[in-house]
Amino acid sequence: MQKIGVVTDTNACLDYFDHDHDIPVFRSIIHLGDQEYLDHIELKATDFYKKLKADASLFPRTSQPPTAKMIETYETMKEKGYTDLIVITISSHMSGIYSSAQIAAKAVENINVHVFDSRSVAFPQAKMTLLAAEMAQAGKSVADILTALKHIRANNHIFFAVDTLQYLVKNGRLSGAQGFMGSMLRIKPLLHISTEGKVENIEKIRTFKKAIQSVVERFIAETKDQKNIDAFICHAHNDAAKDQIIALLSEHDEKYKDIFTMPLTPAVGAHAGPGAIGLGYYLKD
């Protein structure tokens, strides 16, 4: 009898969602100075951003979960009786976790491991993970679940602004980063995650406030004719920007007063940088 399990990685920020599913998480390691922390387990979002604010000399870096840990997770799930696993990872253009999860899959026997590239991060990746778990619990097939995940992957978009580009550039997460070196690091651009799952610049802006306004304007223009969307705000400890976005959205439509908001876990915040904020959505159907 088929029993489908779901696995994700730390970049989905799943720890900040309420759920009762058995979903193992591949956790990245956060490097701060000479200290190492397991994402969320040893260092939660609030504490992470406080550390960066208290010591401007700290520059966070991350390392992905060891392949051996992934193999151990697969083996543990097999022992629990799972015959199939759907592993939903951060975009393969942002991290090597996708490739490592595939390598680990080849090292285990008697369990079918399906590694799925979300081509995204945070909310869309978390939604894919939770939907997969719900569908598996409802007795849906692997094929049905992968089809549903592909729908979310093809129908979501995140716009975001960062207070500084240095984190994205130094950590190698910004496509075409050579165009932002030197004095250009002082700009506050409008960025997005492309359909391929790459972090790309859309518009070069000089102030963070204007960048936030542009994020909202782009979001409204893209969703104004959509009737069934799930919208969200994700941010790196920036309540002021979050409130500003909610206010701007609420002026457009009161339904956005209750928009879902979530923190970026340290593994994501290490690349986006303190103060980063994103606004996005996916089409439910």
Assess whether 209 and 187 both reside in one domain. yes
Is the residue at 35 inside a domain? Answer: no
Phi, psi for residue 65 in degrees, rounded to 5 = -60, 140
CATH code (residue 254): 3.30.1180.10
The rounded distance, in Å, linking the Cα atoms of 189 and 209 is 11
Assess whether 92 and 108 both reside in one domain. yes
Is the residue at 221 inside a domain? Answer: yes
The last residue of one of the domains, among 154, 184, 216, is 154
Task: List the Cα angle 196/201/203 in 5-degree steps.
Answer: 135
Is the residue at 203 inside a domain? Answer: yes
Is the residue at 44 inside a domain? Answer: no
Assess whether 98 and 223 both reside in one domain. no
The last residue of one of the domains, among 137, 154, 171, is 154
Could you tell me the CA-to-CA distances from 21 to 15, 38, 74, 81, 116 in Å, in that order? 12, 21, 16, 15, 19
**pLDDT at 183 > cutoff 50:** no
Q: Which two tokens stand for residue 9?
A: 């990685």
Assess whether 182 and 75 both reside in one domain. no
Provide the domain limits for residue 214: 156-283
Assess whether 150 and 191 both reside in one domain. no
Assess whether 184 and 259 both reside in one domain. yes
**pLDDT at 169 > cutoff 50:** yes
Could you tell me the CA-to-CA distances from 146 to 8, 127, 258 in Å, in that order? 14, 13, 30
Assess whether 95 and 199 both reside in one domain. no
Is the residue at 121 inside a domain? Answer: yes
Least Cα distance to 209 among 142, 163, 143, 272 occurs for 163
Is the residue at 53 inside a domain? Answer: no
pLDDT at 178: 46
**Which comes out higher in pLDDT, residue 137 or 207?**
137
pLDDT at 181: 47
Assess whether 227 and 125 both reside in one domain. no
**Which comes out higher in pLDDT, residue 272 or 126?**
126
The last residue of one of the domains, among 154, 172, 200, is 154
Mean pLDDT of the chain: 92
Tens digit of each residue's pLDDT (9 = 90 or more) over 223-251: 998 889 999 999 999 999 999 999 999 99
Assess whether 123 and 191 both reside in one domain. no
Number of domains in the chain: 2
Assess whether 239 and 134 both reside in one domain. no
**pLDDT at 166 > cutoff 80:** no
**pTM for the whole structure:** 0.93
Lowest-pLDDT range, 73-82, 107-116, 272-281? 272-281
pLDDT at 174: 59
pLDDT at 53: 86
Is the residue at 39 inside a domain? Answer: no
Tens digit of each residue's pLDDT (9 = 90 or more) over 33-89: 899 999 999 999 999 999 988 888 889 999 999 999 999 999 999 999 999 999 999
Assess whether 100 and 224 both reside in one domain. no
The answer to whether 193 touches 276, Cβ cutoff 8 Å, is no
Tens digit of each residue's pLDDT (9 = 90 or more) over 81-92: 999 999 999 999
Residue type, 156: N
CATH code (residue 113): 3.40.50.10170
H-run or E-run covering 99 = helix 97-105
Is the residue at 15 inside a domain? Answer: yes
The pLDDT-based confidence of 179 (bands split at 50, 70, 90) is very low
The rounded distance, in Å, linking the Cα atoms of 167 and 272 is 6
User: What contacts 24+ positions apart, CB below 8 Å, involve 71-75?
Assistant: 71/104, 71/107, 71/108, 73/7, 73/24, 73/26, 74/7, 74/104, 74/105, 74/108, 74/111, 74/113, 75/108
The answer to whether 8 touches 131, Cβ cutoff 8 Å, is no
Q: Which two tokens stand for residue 43?
A: 């260092």
Assess whether 84 and 20 both reside in one domain. yes
